Amino acid sequence: MNQMTRKPGEKSLNHLFQPVEWGRFKVKNRIKYGACCVSNYNTRDGFITPRELARTKVIAETGCGIITNQGAYPDPEGLGKAYFRQVAIFDDKFLPQFEMIARMIKDNGGMAIQQILHAGRYGGIDLGYCIQPSIVPQTLPHFRPPREITKEQIRQTIKEHAEAAARSIKAGFDGTEVTSFMGYLLATFNSKFTNKRTDEYGGSIENRGRFMRELIDAIKQATPDHPLVVRLNGTELMDKWGGNSEDECFELMEQAGRCGVDMISVTVGWQEAPKSSIGRDIPPGHWNYLAARAKKLLPDTPVAFGVRLPDPIMANECLAEGQFDFWEVCRPLLADPELIHKASEGRLNEVKRCIGSLNCLSRLFRDLPYTCTMNPALGHEIEPEYNVKPAAVHKNVMIVGAGPAGMECAITAKRRGHDVVVFERSERIGGSLVGYATHDLAHKDDLKSVVAYYEVMAKKLGIEVRLNTEINPKLMRGILHQFDAAVVATGVRIDMLALPAPEAPGILVSAQDVALGRVPPARKLVVIGGGKVGLTLAESLKSSGYEVTVIEREKENCRRRNAVVEMASYRLDRGVGNSDLHQQSSHPDRQRRRHHCRRQRRGKKDRSRDGDRRVASSG
Ligand SMILES: Cc1cc2nc3c(=O)[nH]c(=O)nc-3n(C[C@H](O)[C@H](O)[C@H](O)COP(=O)(O)O)c2cc1C
Ligand code: SF4
């Protein structure tokens, strides 16, 4: 590329934007879009819908050099089917939509890869069972009971993968990918946790890798001139269940390399792994060492990596150091599909970062269209009202509240050409998020980046934000005539009156006020409400040395949230401090107040009164 014509970001992130050759293909940069179900809007029988195509168009336009299309299951029975709306590729009848997708990707200058995803242990979603090498029950409840795959089925499954690969090439894709991401069929053969076979497909690591080697051979034979990528675990995080060690994972990678695979994509963890792999508690860059190890082991095989590596600057540095060959990025492009373009234009401060909340993935397996915490348009691309267009009639818009809702509204209104004034009672943009970002133990920078994004966009778009301005009826009467529309975006309020009356003023305070530093916490605190707000604050205060008790109203919630509390303790155990967060039912509404007093009279211990200060996070 001519240095003179390079955009500013392409110069500073020169490794990322370096065109490279991959076999006989020229790739325009070293960025690969990591396979990801598109929006969960396929039909129940595996056809890609116009809604999916509209979303895929956004993916095709991200600017990545290689784009991996969502994983399709390869068998007609649906044993490989991981979630209800997974797309299928076991028959030519599915081809027209795949052809459209391959064309979309190529029209945007990308290389098109089709992923084949057989879910194995997590598959058979429409059936009463699933298959895997041996009968090893899943450690989570919501999967189908496993049956042992027969040798005949192994041969058939490999054949179906090869046919699916050939079909992908027929549709116009440049290459294919097989995934063992998160414990799918390939991973279950490789892992000693799920592979207890006594025939040539089980036992030694050489035998456990046989299925993978035969799969690679079959696909390479079916599509000899086209690259094949295999996604393999760098670590399974399944030690608790007797899974593979990291050394074994790399031995399997070496086998794949020896077999002539064209790229290895390094992944982390299984769905059942008791430890986090891609959540917010994993700091960006945490897993890079796995990619570096793979690259060292296989210097001649291209390595793709990007798990929880959302930062293009860090990715560029890794490429410069030779830790991997392609930055494989998924969720950061869900949160901001413009990420690569902004990076190339030197506008990284305008990127809406993925905060690792996992809203997206968690909805997929509940048969819900997935959504993104940061990108409200995700999955709605086909709906005209989600495409921001100039407004037919110009308006003056007032927005009350500069939290995320108010700022999103302001940005959209401004982009449509309206004049916008935002009124904010505090001294800065961000609303309650500012407070929770400060108290977030998972990774403060994630939430802080959201606040920073709104500050940058307000400046860039020329949105007037009047800080330290509380809107009250008097002020409203005085200014409302200046505006055509008013939007109230003042966020949630905790209903303090719904809680037991405090015996003295200042004892019962709102979580928002504590989070934002408006009220100093007392040494001994009771946090009322074990939801996200309550637990985030409780964890943070606990780690700062306060004595904290969390109480929770609903028994059901208590049960559901046990996992969260455990997670909190787990995080604290990992060095932030010791956890002794308690749980107890509270009685927060007025109707229950009498019952609450009765309990007290009967002498039952009421922990909501334990602390010097009660912090309401629900009401
Ligand atoms: C909603 C969602 C769907 C995904 N679907 C697939 C898939 O079909 N096949 C696959 O190999 N990986 C899938 N992944 C994993 C991603 O490709 C990627 O490896 C993972 O999200 C970590 O990278 P990131 O931190 O850039 O998101 C999915 C991830 C998400 C969030
Ligand atoms: S839902 Fe959360 S994890 Fe998923 S892409 Fe959006 S911000 Fe990232």
Atom of ligand 2 nearest to the CA of 371: 1
Percent of the chain beyond pLDDT 90? 68
Q: Tell me, what's the pLDDT at 151?
A: 98
Per-residue pLDDT at 535 exceeds 80: yes
Which structure tokens are listed for 389?
């267009």
More confident residue, 185 or 603: 185
Q: Per-residue pLDDT tens for 506-533?
A: 888 888 888 888 888 888 888 888 887 8
Residue nearest to atom 2 of ligand 2 (CA): 357
Residue 267 pLDDT: 97
Distance 361 CA to ligand 2 centre (A): 8
- If pLDDT is split at 50, 70 and 90, which confidence band does 608 have? low
pLDDT digits (tens, 9 = 90+) for 386-399: 999 999 999 999 99
Work out the pLDDT band at 599, boundaries 50, 70, 90. very low
Query: What is the best residue among 184, 288, 331 to mutate for testing ligand 1's pocket, by most ligand atoms within 8 Å of CB?
Result: 331
Q: With 60 as the cut, is the pLDDT of residue 539 above it?
A: yes
Nearest CA to ligand 1 atom 23: 307
Compute, in angstroms, the gap from residue 91 CA to the centroid of ligand 2: 33
pLDDT at residue 344 is higher than 60: yes
Q: Is 379 in the pocket of ligand 1 (CB under 6 A)?
A: no
pLDDT at 421: 98
Task: Kindly state if the Cβ of 35 falls inside 6 Å of ligand 1.
Answer: yes
Please name which ligand lies nearest the alpha carbon of 305.
1
The protein residue whose alpha carbon is closest to atom 5 in ligand 1 is 36
pLDDT for 550 beyond 90: no
Map 473-501 to HEC letters.
HHHHHHHHHHCCEEEECCCCCCCHHHCCC
Q: In this prediction, what percent of the chain has a pLDDT beyond 70?
A: 89
- pLDDT tens-digit profile of 284-312? 999 999 999 999 999 999 999 999 999 99
Largest CA distance in the chain: 83
**Strands of 524-528's sheet, edge to edge?**
508-510, 613-616, 524-528, 547-551
Q: Which residue has the higher pLDDT, 537 or 139?
A: 139
Contact 290, 235 (CB under 8 A): yes
Position 460 confidence tier, pLDDT thresholds 50, 70, 90: very high
Q: Is pLDDT above 80 for 564?
A: no
CA of 177 to the centre of ligand 1 (A): 13
Give, as one character, the DSSP assignment of residue 522.
P
C-alpha pair distances (Å), 492 with each of 307, 314, 431, 513: 34, 36, 10, 13
**In sequence order, which ranges of 134-287 are alpha helices (DSSP H)?**
151-170, 185-190, 205-208, 210-222, 246-258
Q: Tell which atom from ligand 1 comes closest to the C-alpha of 356.
A: 25
Give the chain's mean pLDDT. 88
CA nearest ligand 1 atom 25, residue: 308
What's residue 605's pLDDT? 52
Would you state the pLDDT for residue 606?
Answer: 52
What is the reported pTM? Answer: 0.88
Closest ligand to residue 80's CA? 1
Q: Which of these ranges, 124-128, 196-200, 587-591, 599-603, has the smallest mean pLDDT?
A: 587-591
Q: For 381, list phi and psi in degrees, rounded to 5.
A: -55, -30
What is the distance in A from the centroid of ligand 1 to the CA of 20?
A: 24
Per residue in 369-425, pLDDT (tens digit) is 888 999 999 999 999 999 999 999 999 999 999 999 999 999 999 999 999 999 999
Q: Where are the alpha helices (DSSP H) in 30-69?
A: 50-60
| 115 or 357, higher pLDDT | 115
Taking the C-alpha atoms of residue 379 and residue 389, their distance in angstroms, rounded to an integer, is: 18
Q: Which of 277, 281, 374 to mutate to test the pocket of ligand 2 (most atoms within 8 A of CB)?
A: 374
Q: Is the pLDDT of residue 212 over 90?
A: yes
User: What does the pLDDT read at residue 592?
Assistant: 39
Helix (H) or strand (E) holding 83: none
Closest C-alpha to ligand 2, atom 5: 331
Q: Can you tell me the mean pLDDT for 332-350?
A: 97
User: pLDDT tens, 218-253?
Assistant: 999 999 999 999 999 999 999 999 999 999 999 999
Reported confidence tier of residue 177, pLDDT bands at 50, 70, 90: very high
181: helix, strand or coil: coil
In sequence order, what are the beta bridge partners of 538? Answer: none
- Residues 122, 124, 128: CA angle, nearest 5 degrees: 115
If pLDDT is split at 50, 70 and 90, which confidence band does 325 have?
Answer: very high
**Ligand 1 atom at minimal distance to the Cα of residue 34:** 17
| Side-chain half-sphere exposure of 119, counting CA atoms within 13 A | 28
How distant is the alpha carbon of residue 585 from its chain centre?
32
- Residue 115 Cβ inside 6 Å of ligand 1? The answer reads yes
